[in-house]
Structure 1
């Protein structure tokens, strides 16, 4: 006796039915593969990829009590990106680049100075603003207190900036920095 195959739908019917679900399957796959996330998380992760290189250093590594010396914070954005000048925040204080010394035994004198910014038409903001598209130096003078103990002393700080590419701006970012200065004993 010959056995019969169980009832199966035709191949054409199966293909047509699976094609009907194809758009939904593609969308769900794309969401899963792309890691669907809220806009704020996406922008934050995108901004973290668009970092600027930041280095901080003293003018001299060795000082004595009573001396003054300059410190430098050097920032370089990735090609095609810019960040705003310290003077850019007249309308929106979140635009302006800020530097804060968070820990230091030294006394800060005067305000921060920066390399001259360029005036650029920012399409993301729809107006001209002062920006840095290349390497920039921020400087500030520090004073060594008269009775500061000899030894190695840390200076820590944070560079706060907002980076853009003329189409999109990332959320404000903080980049910590640190360096050491050796204080020699008084003669």
Structure 2
């Protein structure tokens, strides 16, 4: 009986240790707003935990993996221009030895589209890397889907 209790406690300890090591310091949210009957803007928001940052859409060669937002082609809309971002902060990143542009706390990326139909669904992927002063997590890719009504 003692060995069963001990084994249960050990498994519980291992499971909580593994679960605690999964870091997800960035939360993503999506929205769209029609600006006219034939145009809309898609908003992609990243909210980082304190002490973490993601890199801008334009990162230098030899630097970290920058944020990349790609849209899956669809007949219901057409992209107008490229993804827009606010002005990022910049600093010399010791880990990479280059000047990098990054965002802390919150950033909202925007993509204007021209609607080909009254309703659309914009799908795509976001590729990004998140770092703190102590560590960088491996690059991540997430899918998104935004309904435009």
User: What is the TM-score when the length of structure 2 is the normalising length?
Assistant: 0.76
**Structure 1 match to 2:96:** 125
**Contact 2:46–2:108 under 8 Å retained in 1:** yes
**Contact 1:123–1:167 under 8 Å retained in 2:** no
Whole-angstrom distance in 2 between the partners of 1:177 and 1:103: 13
Whole-angstrom distance in 2 between the partners of 1:113 and 1:126: 26
Q: Which structure has greater strand proportion? A: 2
**Structure 2 match to 1:53:** 27
SS at match of 1:128: strand
Whole-angstrom distance in 2 between the partners of 1:110 and 1:73: 16
User: What is the TM-score when the length of structure 1 is the normalising length?
Assistant: 0.62
Q: Which structure has greater helix proportion? A: 1
Q: 1:143 to 1:53 in 2, by over 3 A?
A: same
Are positions 1:100 and 2:94 aligned together?
A: no
* 1:102 positional shift: 2.1
RMSD: 2.7
**Structure 2 match to 1:176:** 143
Counterpart mapping for 1:60-75 below 5 A: 60=34, 64=37, 67-75=38-46
Listed as ranges, the gaps of 5+ residues in structure 2 are 1-9
Are positions 1:164 and 2:138 aligned together?
A: no
Number of equivalenced pairs: 135
Deviations 1:12-55 (A, max 9, x none): xxxxxxxxxxxxxxxxx9xx9499xxxxxx9xx95x52331111
Deviations 1:123-144 (A, max 9, x none): 3223331111121111111001
**Contact 2:55–2:64 under 8 Å retained in 1:** no
SS at match of 1:59: strand
**Contact 1:118–1:132 under 8 Å retained in 2:** yes
**Contact 1:63–1:181 under 8 Å retained in 2:** no
Listed as ranges, the gaps of 5+ residues in structure 1 are 1-28, 36-41, 183-187
Pick aligned residue for 1:134 from 86, 95, 105: 105
Q: 1:85 to 1:124 in 2, by over 3 A?
A: same
Whole-angstrom distance in 2 between the partners of 1:137 and 1:160: 15
